[in-house]
């Protein structure tokens, strides 16, 4: 049951298969691995990866949840049962952008009822009211925009839509106020730092909660070990220079770009 490409609407609804019911979620993959990024790097975790996204970062490391979404539709009960099959207390809801789906809130509520610690990986453009232990928010910088010269499909069709949608300071501030939050930036090089500094300042001004430097994470761009070899040292030096936290991409270091890791 392939998940079709999303529509132009802000909710980026993916086409339902014939047997999908209201409240089901399109799942690209579900697996157990080590959390590779952020403050919980190294923690055994069950990853629930939804399909569909409202943005199109040119360097997206889950291409088949965004540029060409694929997967099957499952009920929340079936997803929770699959999570229960693994011996891990931490669940990462990721994508794509999981919060484009209303049923993600139902899934998070069901996981909370069963005592799981949950991380939601989100681009920070969609408001949410759900039980979340850690909001891992990855605001998208200008360097993420799929201009024609770096669009995976080569046509630049998504450049304007992505650029218009990629930042929502009010939503970022609400996440900081309502959840334990890490702001995780994919850094392509030193040129990104002025935008990161400005955006962190804007969120601090907008939020009625502190954003300490320790909650701002710099992560090197790279989907393979070879790509990370070119960026990790540069980004580590930037973290030292600006006083932010460096986060590795542990799963890439360990398993390269293999699926289900």
- Residue 79's pLDDT is what? 98
Summarised one tens digit per residue, pLDDT across range 63-103 is 999 999 999 999 999 999 999 999 999 999 999 999 999 99
**121-127 mean pLDDT:** 98
Q: Which two tokens stand for residue 86?
A: 């693994």
Is the bond preceding 96 in cis, omega lying within 30 degrees of 0?
Answer: yes
**205-225 mean pLDDT:** 96
> Could you tell me if residue 1 is inside a domain?
no
Q: Please say if the pLDDT value at position 9 is more than 50.
A: no
- Residue 261's pLDDT is what? 80
DSSP, res 213: G
Q: Please say if the pLDDT value at position 127 is more than 90.
A: yes
Domain with 70, as residue range(s), is: 25-184
- Residue 77's pLDDT is what? 98
Domain count, the chain: 1
**What's the number of CA atoms in the CB half-sphere (13 Å) around residue 204?**
12
The CATH number assigned to the domain holding 142 equals: 3.20.20.70
**134-160 mean pLDDT:** 94
> Could you tell me if residue 55 is inside a domain?
yes
> Could you tell me if residue 195 is inside a domain?
no
233/225 Cα distance (integer angstroms): 13
Helix, strand or coil for residue 27?
strand
> Could you tell me if residue 39 is inside a domain?
yes
Q: Above pLDDT 70, what percent of the chain?
A: 94
Which pTM value belongs to this model?
Answer: 0.92
120/106 Cα distance (integer angstroms): 13
Edge-to-edge strand list for the sheet holding 72-74: 72-74, 25-34, 44-50, 90-94, 117-122, 134-137, 181-187, 216-220, 245-246
> Could you tell me if residue 162 is inside a domain?
yes
Q: Which two tokens stand for residue 192?
A: 């990104």
Higher pLDDT, 130 or 156: 130
> Could you tell me if residue 221 is inside a domain?
no
163/144 Cα distance (integer angstroms): 9
Summarised one tens digit per residue, pLDDT across range 161-208 is 999 999 999 999 999 999 999 999 999 999 999 999 999 999 999 999
pLDDT class of 7 with cuts at 50, 70, 90: very low
């Amino acid at each position: 049951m392939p998940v079709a490409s999303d529509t132009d609407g802000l909710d980026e609804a993916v086409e339902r298969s014939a047997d999908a019911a209201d409240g089901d979620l399109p799942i690209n993959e579900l697996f157990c691995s080590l959390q590779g990024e952020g403050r919980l790097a190294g923690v055994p975790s069950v990853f629930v990866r939804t399909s569909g996204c409202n943005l199109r970062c040119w360097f997206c490391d889950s291409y088949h949840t965004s540029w060409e979404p694929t997967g099957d539709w499952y009920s929340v009960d079936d997803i929770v049962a699959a999570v229960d099959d693994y011996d891990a207390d931490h669940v990462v809801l990721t994508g794509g952008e999981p919060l484009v789906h209303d049923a993600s809130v139902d899934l998070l509520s069901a996981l909370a009822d069963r005592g799981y610690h949950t991380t939601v990986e989100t681009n920070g453009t969609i408001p949410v009211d759900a039980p979340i232990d850690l909001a891992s928010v990855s605001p998208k910088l200008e360097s993420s925009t799929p201009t024609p010269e770096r669009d995976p499909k080569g046509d630049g069709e998504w450049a304007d839509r992505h650029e218009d949608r990629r930042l929502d300071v009010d939503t970022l501030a609400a996440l900081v106020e309502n959840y334990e939050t890490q702001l995780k930036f994919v850094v392509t090089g030193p040129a990104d730092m002025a935008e990161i500094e400005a955006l962190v300042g804007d969120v601090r001004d907008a939020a009625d909660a502190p954003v300490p430097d320790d909650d701002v994470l710099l992560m090197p761009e790279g989907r393979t070990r070879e790509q990370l070899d070119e960026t990790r040292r540069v980004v580590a030096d930037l973290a030292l220079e600006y006083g932010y936290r460096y986060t590795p991409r542990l799963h890439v270091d360990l398993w390269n770009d293999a699926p289900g890791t």
